Amino acid sequence: MTGAAFFDLDRTLLPKASGPALSAAMRQTGVVSARVPGESLLFGYFNLLGESLGSIALARQAVLVARGRPADAFDEAALLAADVLEPMVGPFAKMLIKEHQEAGRPVVLATTTPEHLVRPLAERLGIDAVIATRYEVGEDGRFTGRNDGHFVWSMGKIAAVREWSQDNGIDLDESFAYSDSIYDAPLLKAVGNPGAVNPDPRLQTLAIAARWPVLHFDTSPGVMKLPVIGMEVQRMVSMLARPEVFPYAKFTVTGAENVPLVGPAILVGNHRSYFDVVAMLVAMGRAGRTARFLGKKELFDVPALGAFFRAIGGVSVDRRQEDPDSPDAFAAAVRSIAGGEMVAMMPEGTIPRGINFFEPGMTGYPGAARLAQLTKVPVIPFAITGTEKVWPRSSRVPRVLNLLDRPEVTVTFGEPVDLKYRSVPRDMERVFDAITAMLPDEVREPARPTLAELALTYPDGKVPGEDRWYAVDGADED
């Protein structure tokens, strides 16, 4: 026996209720003549907080609306609604459907919505089977006003899923199920691999307690959103990371118009300090976008810091694997780009130390060019300066007492790099050149550093081979 993948419809495959589109299509085709009283209020509540007993009561009564009508009376409305609903299904949901099918699992739409209204949508999504509420059809070919089998909701849904699974040789322990609703808890508990998608508050609580993954099909896997308001944590953090929150630094962000407002892109920049994270959050707030930041695995292994990076959309990259620039190493990044997201990376891999920090030009891993070659999306260079004055590598914390003489932190976004896609190393040189060209003269061609300046670039504040320590203000210490 094999497993299957069961997907709920509203607020799961779809980001919100299908009801408004279905109702509009039925009115347009003349199947119904007016809105149901309170319909807008119920759908508004559903979109915000999920299913309610009121919305389910409305769904139960819908069978009476069909009574006496021909079995094909709703076919045109179902097709019209599919035209509206299919584009609403996010790219990450479509990718997951395909991945399950490639793994040999049939994909099943399990929904309370009547089967005759959702089957065209399921067919357009390439879904293999539909488990939905069916309306009984009499010998005269008309709906009788009764359900044919289970009302596919809560316990009725898990009963219908069990029957279908038994008939089709499906092992629920090997199966996956995805839903937003606490009322689908029986289904989620019945499968070996449950997933709470855009969960309502009660399902969110259950998922945390049961350690079920919490997913959102409009973002990359693992990205956290705030309950109810549905905003990415990264977006919220970038909105809060305003310059006035950091009174010990001055921020200048230029070129934000070069960051596309929608669609995928690769952001590539230099790395000078741990404070680069704050600088980029401020800059991304100005650009109005979120991005998936690629970072070295060592950072994600730190318990509190790693959890924070994952929550705001960080992607771990293990540089110790045999080929860190192979296509497989960028699978998560490629997936994010395919979903229309931006990916950001600092190809130097780590903050340069010692004399390398002051060398003109840039060197590093060619992953950005390799990723661009795989995806053919725009590469936007960015240049960061001044962060090393706020948080030098020799310090464990930022210099928060610099209130009277605040260092200036700059983030500059450039125009897309003109890549040729013929040579990864050569394209990477083009990216490095574009980043370097945006740096000020004192960074692009720095003066010979003093020993004290060199010491600031080492975690322990000591230049290797020297028998002295150097204080962060440049004064010698014994």
Rounded CA-CA distance 294/300 in Å is 10
What is the chain's mean pLDDT, rounded? 89
404-408 contacts, C-beta under 8 A, 24 or more apart:
406/247, 406/248, 406/249, 406/250, 407/249, 407/250, 408/249, 408/250, 408/251, 408/252
pLDDT at 326 over 60: no
Residue 259 has pLDDT above 80, yes or no: yes
Q: pLDDT tier at 321 (50, 70, 90 boundaries)?
A: low
More confident residue, 52 or 333: 333
pLDDT tops 60 at residue 222:
yes
Determine the 3-state secondary structure of 342 from DSSP.
strand
Asked whether 477 and 471 are in contact (CB, 8 A), the reply is: yes
Q: Is the pLDDT of residue 185 over 80?
A: yes
For the cut 80, the answer to whether the pLDDT of residue 191 exceeds it is yes
pLDDT band at 468 (very low <50, low <70, confident <90, very high): low
Global pTM value: 0.84
Question: Does residue 160 register a pLDDT over 50?
Answer: yes
For 391-450, what is each residue's pLDDT tens digit?
A: 999 999 999 998 889 999 999 999 999 999 999 999 999 999 999 999 999 888 888 888
Task: Compute the Cα dihedral for 321, 325, 326, 330 and give only its sign.
Answer: positive
Residue 143: pLDDT band with limits 50, 70, 90: very high
Q: Which amino acid does the sequence have at 151?
A: F
Q: What is the mean pLDDT of residues 324-351?
A: 83
Contact 459, 393 (CB under 8 A): yes
- C-alpha–C-alpha distance, residues 285 and 251, integer Å: 12
Residue type, 388: E
Identify the weakest region by mean pLDDT among 136-140, 238-242, 326-330, 332-336: 326-330
pLDDT at position 37 is: 62
The model's confidence at residue 476, banded by pLDDT at 50, 70 and 90, is very low
pLDDT at 296 over 90: no
Can you give the pLDDT at residue 45? 73
Q: Which two tokens stand for residue 127?
A: 């879904």
Q: Round to whole Å and give the CA distance between 240 and 278.
A: 11
For residue 42, pLDDT beyond 80 = no
State residue 36's pLDDT score.
Answer: 65
Which range has the top average pLDDT, 22-36, 115-129, 277-291? 115-129
Read off the pLDDT band of 472 (50, 70, 90).
very low
Across 309-329, average pLDDT: 65
Question: What's the mean pLDDT in 330-348?
Answer: 91
The predicted pLDDT at position 329 comes to 63
First to last CA, the chain: 72
> Is pLDDT at 311 greater than 80 in this prediction?
no
Contact 95, 335 (CB under 8 A): yes
The span from the CA of 341 to the CA of 335, in Å, is 9
Q: What percent of the chain has pLDDT over 90?
A: 65
**367 pLDDT above the threshold of 80:** yes
pLDDT band per the 50, 70, 90 thresholds, residue 322: very low
Please say if the pLDDT value at position 200 is more than 70.
Answer: yes
Per the CB < 8 A criterion, the answer to whether 230 and 198 are in contact is: yes
- Residue 191's contacts (CB-CB under 8 Å, 6 or more residues apart) are 3, 6, 172, 173, 175, 176, 177
Higher pLDDT, 237 or 98: 98
Q: Which residues contact 103 (CB under 8 A, 6 or more apart)?
A: none
Condensed to tens digits (0 to 9), the pLDDT of residues 71-84 reads 999 999 999 999 99
Percentage of residues in the chain having pLDDT higher than 70: 93
